Amino acid sequence: MKVKELQKTVNVAWSPAQLNSILLAAGTAAQQLDTSSNSVLEIYSANLSEPGYDMVLKGSQASPYPFHKIIWSPLGSGGHYPEGVIVGGCESGHLQVYNAAKLLAGEESLMSKQDKHVGAVRALDFNPFQTNLLASGAAESEILIWDLNNTTTPMTPGTKTQPFEDIQNVAWNKQVQHILASVFSSRCIVWDLRKNEPIIKLSDSQSRIRWRALQWHPDIATQLWLASEDDQAPVVQLWDLRYATAPAKTLQIHQRGVLGLTWCPKDINLMISCGKDNKIICWNPNSEQGDEIQSEIASTVQWYSDVQWCPKNPALITSSSLDGNVSLYSLYGGSQQQVQTSNKIADSFPGMDTFAQAPLPQSNLAPVVYNDLKTPPVWMKQPVGASFGFGGKLLTFNQGMPGKVTINQITTEQELVDRSNKLEEVLAGGNYAEYCVQKANQMDSQQGRYIWYFVKTNFEANPRAEMLNLL
């Protein structure tokens, strides 16, 4: 279900999970049809607690260049950069780094601007182990590794691969911190930064494929998914680097080319892809066949060029379409919000007869489709549970040990039961002073007896006098 939208031609990035708020960075998209001639980087609040589709603008700064790619890192979120840093890949080889906290405060936020690349910077990814390390990819097979603590001297992972091509995507391995993958239209190159050289090349010579998107497996270090944007071969393929002569799986989730691919950060059984068939589809990459569709999240009349999971709230995704719209969707489904168009018109035209409603035109456009997930995501499953049975038995389960139920026999302590019954009798009869004397006589220490005698004074006819006598 769509919950928010932004009617701008922008590239976007979610705020990191480490931040308290759910924010969205939006930078003016390069090479898009837009009536605005000014480029800008903005931060919006998702504003999920409020009805309506509008998001709240929190900060804005003009940019000399439009953006091909936006990415938001938690670098320094505990110190120098409380809200992390935002990096934008721009035209003409420019890379711009912004302080998100200063952008939100309305201050000058551009920390660094470099132009080391050749051509537009279309691929960016932060190292999940060292958040100061950034990989960027541009034209002519050029990849640079940046240390955001010192952006003046980037390094290369190795010699440029031939033939020269535009890099479509880069991604760090989720298990091994020195492994980086880069995607070109016709091949995928995996680099080992310790050796400063490529270690393997993936290509499918049996089919007509133009690679566009890449996702490493979160748990298996040697596996990755690749997606093709070619309409004649709109496939996603699972590759295992140990057996790299052919893909382990080839699936056709979409009817036309796939433009975006993202793995859920909280559930490895959920993958979302979008493409030229105007659909956003959630599917299970780990099912037996590998193409078990969980939900068709959205279907409209425009291509979806990108899709991203929210790191802080995995029930949210954002998508960008080529008609200049950014949409936020919830995986939980629900009824679609109704846009109050008539109320907006009434506000703009005072005195208008609010009861005179014009007939709604019949649209030939395909309706927007929203479907719920077939199975609940892992973060909604109960992690532990317990239930009492007959004969003092307690049954427990734990998701860490699936398929196992533990049965415990609860042993009753008779002494504790007797003491509890005695206390209930005293509370019912009101014999508080007598009970305190009994408890005092049972104490082994003088201090314990004095404590109970002090409690007893509160139930006497003259508590003040009894307390003075005790002292």
Contact 261, 275 (CB under 8 A): no
Span 217-228, mean pLDDT? 95
pTM for this entry: 0.78
pLDDT at 364: 42
Secondary element (H or E) of residue 462:
none
Burial 214-241 (b: 16+ CB within 10 A, else e): bbbbbeeebbbbbbbbbeebbbbbbbeb
pLDDT digits (tens, 9 = 90+) for 400-441: 788 899 998 877 778 888 888 888 988 888 888 888 888 888
How many whole angstroms separate alpha carbon 307 and alpha carbon 281? 10
Secondary structure of residue 259 in the 3-state scheme? strand
Instruction: Report the DSSP beta bridge partners of residue 408.
Output: 394
Tell whether the model's pLDDT for residue 266 goes beyond 80. Answer: yes
Which pLDDT score, from 0 to 100, does residue 351 have? 56
Q: Which of 35, 30, 34, 39 is nearest to 91 (CA)?
A: 30
* Amino acid in the structure at residue 231: D
Out of 4-18, 128-142, 398-412, least confident range: 398-412
pLDDT for residue 353 is more than 60: no
* Crossing angle of the two packed helices 446-457 and 432-441, in degrees rounded to 10: 170
The residue type of 90 is C
pLDDT reported for residue 294: 86
Mean of pLDDT over the chain: 86
**Cα 239 from chain centroid (whole Å):** 24
**Per-residue tokens: 311:** 């790191």
At 361 the pLDDT is 40
At residue 207, the 3 state secondary structure works out as coil
Domain boundaries, the chain: 2-335+365-380, 414-470
Distance (Å, rounded) from C-alpha 346 to C-alpha 339?
14
Distances (CA, A) of 336 to 53, 346, 368: 11, 23, 10
Q: Considering only 105-119, 210-224, 320-334, which range has the smallest mean pLDDT?
A: 320-334
Residue 269: which residues within 8 A CB-CB, separation 6 or more? Answer: 284, 285, 286, 287, 378
Residue of 269, 277, 293 whose CA lies nearest to 228? 277
**Digit-coded pLDDT (tens) for 372-390:** 788 888 888 888 999 988 8
The residue among 339 and 283 whose pLDDT is bigger is 283
Output the DSSP codes for 104-138: HHTS--EEEEE--SSS---EEEE-SS-TTEEEEE-
List pLDDT tens digits, range 280-333: 999 999 888 767 888 888 777 788 889 999 999 999 999 998 888 899 999 886
Other C-beta atoms closer than 10 Å to the C-beta of 429 total 10
Given a cut of 60, whether residue 368 has pLDDT beyond it is: no
Cis peptide bond prior to 198, omega within 30° of 0: no
pLDDT value at 140 more than 80: yes
Taking the CA atoms of residue 298, residue 299, residue 303 and residue 304 in that order, the dihedral angle to the nearest 10 degrees is 10
Q: What contacts 41, CB < 8 A, 6 or more positions away?
A: 25, 26, 27, 28, 60, 61, 63, 67, 70, 86, 88, 98, 103
Q: How confident is the model at residue 360 (pLDDT cuts 50, 70, 90)?
A: very low
pLDDT band at 90 (very low <50, low <70, confident <90, very high): very high
Decide yes or no: CATH 3.20.20.140 for domain 2-335+365-380: no
Q: Give the pLDDT band (50/70/90) at residue 348.
A: low
Question: Rounded mean pLDDT of 198-221?
Answer: 90
Is the separation of the CB atoms in 193 and 178 below 8 Å?
yes
